[in-house]
């Protein structure tokens, strides 16, 4: 069975600090996708990134960066120079290999990030 663990339930930092959100996953599949979604206070789920299991290159997008390490089954997310607008719940998710046209995401419990001014 697939499982995603976000051990950090809540994180609170002061604006401009860097912060890393941890994500550890379990799967028996050799082909899978990993995702991060942001859920701001308004409640919607905002797609941030998708990474496939064959691509271990780290990715940077502005102040966001992702570190995918297959050896430790981790897909961590770092926000550099955090801002108040980054305050949200962040979900890591895993999708197994495509089966019969279904892409079924397994989500972690989420990490509530609060950026204080």
Partner 1 sequence: EPEVTQTPSHQVTQMGQEVILRCVPISNHLYFYWYRQILGQKVEFLVSFYNNEISEKSEIFDDQFSVERPDGSNFTLKIRSTKLEDSAMYFCASSDGRSAPLHFGNGTRLTVT
Chain residues binding partner 1 by CB under 8 A are 33, 35, 37, 42-47, 50, 52, 91, 93, 98-110
Backbone region of residue 76 per phi and psi (left: phi > 0; alpha: psi in -120 to 50; beta: other values) = beta
Cβ nearer to partner 1, comparing 2 with 80: 2
State in angstroms the smallest separation of the CB of 73 from partner 1: 18
**How many residues are recorded in the chain?**
117
- Provide the 3-class DSSP secondary structure of residue 72: helix
State in angstroms the smallest separation of the CB of 12 from partner 1: 17
State in angstroms the smallest separation of the CB of 100 from partner 1: 5
Q: Which two tokens stand for residue 77?
A: 């997310």
Cβ nearer to partner 1, comparing 31 with 58: 31
Interatomic CA distance for residues 20 and 67, integer angstroms: 10
């Amino acid at each position: 069975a697939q499982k995603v663990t976000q051990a950090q339930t809540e994180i609170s930092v002061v604006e401009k600090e860097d912060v890393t959100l941890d994500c550890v996953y379990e799967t028996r599949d050799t082909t899978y996708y990993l995702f991060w979604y942001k859920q701001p206070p308004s409640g919607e789920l905002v797609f941030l990134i998708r990474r496939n299991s064959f691509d271990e290159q780290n990715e940077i997008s502005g102040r966001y960066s992702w570190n995918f390490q297959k050896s430790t089954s981790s897909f961590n997310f770092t926000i550099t120079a955090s801002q108040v607008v980054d305050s949200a719940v962040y979900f890591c998710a895993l999708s197994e290999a495509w089966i019969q046209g279904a892409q079924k995401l397994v989500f972690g419990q989420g990490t509530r990030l609060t950026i204080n001014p």
